[in-house]
Amino acid sequence: MFFGMPKPVVLSYAANGIRRSKRDCLALPIKPDELVASARAAKEAGASLYSFSVRDDTGIAMSQLDALLPTIAMIRDATDGGFGLQLELDINPATGIDLTEVDRLLAAETVDSLQIRLDQILPRDGDEADEDRARQFLDLCNERGTGVQFALDRASDIEWFYAFRQYGIIPESCRALLFILGTDGEQPTSNANELRPFLTTLDKLYLTGKVAWSVAAFGPSELTAQTAALAMGGHMMMGPAYNAQSGQGEAFKGPQDQVSPLQQVANLLGRSIASGFETRTLLFGPR
């Protein structure tokens, strides 16, 4: 709450994720021109932030800078600013994160934030080398003023996040968490009650009000889960990366079909949709 008023809500549109393919959703934007059209439509629909991965010809998420930059530049030009862009990274566990490539990416100032799975950058079976790379990566992002959103799919990940924050590996400036509810597959599904353990863990660790949390939910129960997140003060991430159909089983024709119902719920709860500037501040703090 800001001065007794409900805080604005960040409405993030997740275009394609790092693992989903056309088999999961025929309309999933994969090619550069598809991403450009999707980003433009998401902005017109009223989304605050566009979260996406750049894929190669086989559909694998890429991390090589020379391959990323042209597509990112096309999206940035098509959306003409005033709209957050977030690149989703898929880290190869065999090689770890390429800090040189990350530094070059951040120096290009093409995206506002990066999303990464916490268990990829700080694996449960990791060692000191993993911790050193994670610290250097997060320090680079902090120095460049690039936001970082950690994707978590279980409540115990919050304890993992908290531990590395206490150790000083995750800086205080890294405060954006994405809670992923449910499971993907042939019939993606989720339940709003899955949000409870995440919020309980935040309370237990005294993190409530100190982190900016968003919710993504697999399957057509997305609207129910997002309504719960809105009511509890969280932010929303939706899109074909998690769900491609309404609660009635009808396929979304585009971002407008998916965004509009959530905008209506937010309005009913008195929460305005955050602008691009508000999004950066709400999720990543002053920059």
In a domain, 4, yes or no: no
Quick check: 39 and 259 in contact, CB under 8 A? no
pLDDT score for 188: 80
Give the tens place of pLDDT for each residue, 135-193.
Answer: 998 998 998 899 999 999 999 999 999 999 999 999 998 999 999 998 887 788 889 89
pLDDT score for 104: 80
pLDDT score for 277: 85
In a domain, 49, yes or no: yes
CATH number of the domain at 198, please.
3.20.20.70
Number of domains within the chain? 1
In a domain, 275, yes or no: yes
Provide the token pair at 138. 């997060």
* pLDDT above 60 for 4: no
Give the tens place of pLDDT for each residue, 199-236.
Answer: 999 999 999 999 999 999 998 888 999 999 999 999 99
In a domain, 126, yes or no: yes
Percent of the chain residues past pLDDT 70, beyond the cut: 92
Rounded Cα gap, residues 71 and 33, in angstroms: 8
Confidence band, pLDDT 50/70/90 cuts, at residue 27: confident
pLDDT score for 94: 57
Q: What is the mean pLDDT of the chain?
A: 87
Domain extent at residue 153: 11-284
In a domain, 238, yes or no: yes
pLDDT score for 57: 73
- In whole angstroms, how far apart are CA 27 and each of 169, 248, 252? 39, 18, 9
SS (H, E, C) the chain: CECCECCCECEEEECCCCCCCCCCCCCCCCCHHHHHHHHHHHHHHCCCEEEECCECCCCCECCCHHHHHHHHHHHHHHHCCCCEEEEECCCCCCCCCCHHHHHHHHHHCCCCEEEEEHHHHCCCCCCHHHHHHHHHHHHHHHHHCCEEEEEECCCHHHHHHHHHHHCCCCCCCCCEEEEEECECCCCCECCHHHHHHHHHHHHHCCCCCCCEEEEEECCCCHHHHHHHHHHCCCEEEECCCCCCECCCCCECCCHHHHHHHHHHHHHHCCCCECCHHHHHHHHHCCC
* pLDDT above 50 for 266: yes
In a domain, 261, yes or no: yes
In a domain, 59, yes or no: yes
* pLDDT above 70 for 286: yes
Give the tens place of pLDDT for each residue, 55-95.
Answer: 877 666 666 667 788 899 899 998 887 789 999 988 766 55
Which range scores top for mean pLDDT: 30-44, 90-104, 183-197? 30-44
In a domain, 180, yes or no: yes
Percent of the chain residues past pLDDT 90, beyond the cut: 50
